[in-house]
Amino acid sequence: MRGLFPAFIRWYLRLFPWERSGRIYELTGIRWIDRQLASVFHEPPVERFSPEDRLPRAYVLKRILRGQYSEVVNAMCALIYFGLAVICQVGNFPALAFFAMLITAHHFLIVPIERYKRGLLEEWLSHPEALTDGPADLEPPYLRTRKELVHWYFRPLGFESEKFYDRIGVNSYRVFVYWLTGLIESGATEEAKEQAPNYLKNPTAEQLDEFEKGTRTSETVHLLGILEHLPFAWVFLSKPYWLGLLAMLVIGYLNVYAIFLQRQHRTRLFKLLLRRADKMEAKKAQV
């Protein structure tokens, strides 16, 4: 991907020399925050390179790409919510402006966390002797049972289909996501791109199961995003404040259509995952 903006993103994602060791971030408490977040999301924290330890190269590349995507998305969100804070202040809604600044700070905090982790991961890449040919996941993927798959909310409803979501314009949001993903991955090697979260070439049952789990996580995040915007929408409608309502329409589109995209992914995979779960349970019953 060529152009001024992609070049800027590639420049932005590069770590400065003073960031590479991660020490500056550890002095500010970023390491402690990162470990708390890792425990919440049940994933292993990134450890500093040690000559005695080994990590799969695919795992390191996957974590770097995932972290870059998270950093860029959260930086964009921080800018959006800072703009919302300004809109609230202009409209004389100081309480909402303060709330918007809290959301801005939350997204902005993710940026140094991801840069800190990337510094540690790039240190691993500089020691190829410590990298193995193992899989991109440190723990074997867990295949869910039918009971675990069939959740009252996440299970596709009768009217949900790929065509239904195409008719309501989800493809426009998909194009935006693919553009953003391509932008972030434009500076990555082909080897690294193969570890991208959305790259599924001849996927295994475990990879499909993990991908569907990811749709649930993403959908939940965007549902929470909608809930945190309800106070803004209520106050802007009560006045009414048209500039604020316009901002709510834009932010609402980004969240609602992100949910629609995750549900469309699920309609494609759900029956396949159920059949896999039924076969797995049938085999266990025969043993």
The reply to whether 196 falls in a domain is yes
Residues spanned by the domain of 3: 1-134
Contacts of 167 (CB under 8 A, 6+ apart): none
Q: For residue 264, count other CB atoms closer than 10 A to its CB.
A: 23
Q: Please give the pLDDT value at position 24.
A: 92
Length in residues, the chain: 287
The reply to whether 164 falls in a domain is yes
Beta bridge partners of 56: 132
Q: By three-state DSSP, how is residue 122 classified?
A: helix
Same domain, 93 and 151: no
The reply to whether 277 falls in a domain is yes
- Would you say 119 and 19 are in contact if contact means Cβ atoms under 8 Å apart? yes
Count structural domains, the chain.
Answer: 2
Q: Does residue 185 carry a pLDDT above 90? A: no
The reply to whether 270 falls in a domain is yes
Beta bridge partners of 55: 131
Q: 7-53, pLDDT tens digit by residue?
A: 888 888 999 999 988 999 999 999 999 999 888 777 889 999 999 99
Same domain, 221 and 151: yes
Examine the fold and report which residue of 101, 134, 167 is the final residue of a domain before the chain moves on: 134
Same domain, 205 and 257: yes
Which of 52-56, 103-107, 136-140, 176-180 has the lowest average pLDDT?
Answer: 136-140
The reply to whether 139 falls in a domain is no
Q: 204-219, pLDDT tens digit by residue?
A: 788 888 889 989 999 9
Same domain, 62 and 96: yes
The reply to whether 227 falls in a domain is yes
* Cα(211)–Cα(261) distance, integer angstroms: 13
Examine the fold and report which residue of 89, 106, 134 is the final residue of a domain before the chain moves on: 134
Same domain, 109 and 181: no
Q: Does residue 179 carry a pLDDT above 80? A: yes
Q: 60-115, pLDDT tens digit by residue?
A: 998 999 899 999 999 999 999 999 999 999 999 999 999 999 999 999 999 999 99
Same domain, 234 and 106: no
DSSP string, 31-72: HHHHHHHHHHTT-PPPPPP-TT--EEHHHHHHHHHHHHHHHH
Same domain, 129 and 200: no
**Predicted TM-score of the model (pTM):** 0.89
Tell me what the mean pLDDT of segment 153-177 comes to: 92
Going by pLDDT thresholds of 50, 70 and 90, the confidence category of residue 4 is confident
Which of 30-34, 183-187, 231-235 has the lowest average pLDDT?
Answer: 183-187
Same domain, 157 and 236: yes
Q: Does residue 135 carry a pLDDT above 80? A: no
For all residues of the chain together, what is the average pLDDT? Answer: 89
Same domain, 204 and 258: yes
The reply to whether 99 falls in a domain is yes
Residue 44: both structure tokens together: 């292993």
Same domain, 118 and 236: no
Q: 40-62, pLDDT tens digit by residue?
A: 777 889 999 999 999 999 899 98
Which of 78-92, 152-166, 176-190, 238-252 has the lowest average pLDDT?
Answer: 176-190
Examine the fold and report which residue of 111, 134, 157 is the final residue of a domain before the chain moves on: 134
Q: Does residue 200 carry a pLDDT above 70? A: no
Q: Which of 43-80 are b and which e, b meaning 16 or more Cβ less than 10 Å from the residue's Cβ?
A: eeebeebeeeeebbbbbbbbbbbebbbbbbebbebbeb
Q: Does residue 239 carry a pLDDT above 70? A: yes
